[in-house]
Amino acid sequence: MSGAYLQPSRVVLDAHSGATSGPVRVSYFDPRTGEPCATKPEPLHGDQERRGREREGYRASLARGWKKRAVLVGSVEYESIAAAAPAVGVSKTKLAKSLRDGAAEVNGRSVRYAADVQPPPMRTNNPGHKCAVLVDGVRHESIADAAAALGYSRTYFASELRSGRRDYGGRTVEYADKAMKPEPAKTERKPMDPAKYHTRPVMVDGVRYARLMDAAAVVGCSQSYLSMRLKEGYDRVKGCAVAYA
pLDDT at 193 exceeding the cut of 50: yes
pLDDT band at 10 (very low <50, low <70, confident <90, very high): very low
pLDDT-based confidence at residue 195 (cuts at 50, 70, 90): low
Least trusted range by pLDDT, from 47-61, 149-163, 197-211: 47-61
Query: pLDDT confidence of 152, banded at 50, 70, 90?
Result: confident
| Closest among 169, 165, 127, 163 to 145, alpha carbons compared | 127
The pLDDT of residue 9 is 39
- Per-residue pLDDT band for 11 (boundaries 50, 70, 90) equals very low
Q: Indicate whether 120 pLDDT > 70.
A: no
At 8, the pLDDT band (50, 70, 90 cuts) reads: very low
Mean pLDDT over the full length of the chain:
75
pLDDT bucket at 63, cuts 50 / 70 / 90: low
Report whether 130 contacts 136 (CB < 8 A): no
Secondary-structure percent of the chain, ordered helix, strand, coil, rounded to 5: 35, 20, 50
Averaging pLDDT over each range in 53-62, 113-122, 138-147, which range is the top one? 138-147
Q: Is the pTM of this model over 0.75?
A: no
In whole angstroms, how far apart are CA 229 and each of 216, 224, 239, 240? 11, 9, 13, 12
Q: Backbone phi, then psi, for 52, in 5-degree steps?
A: -65, -40
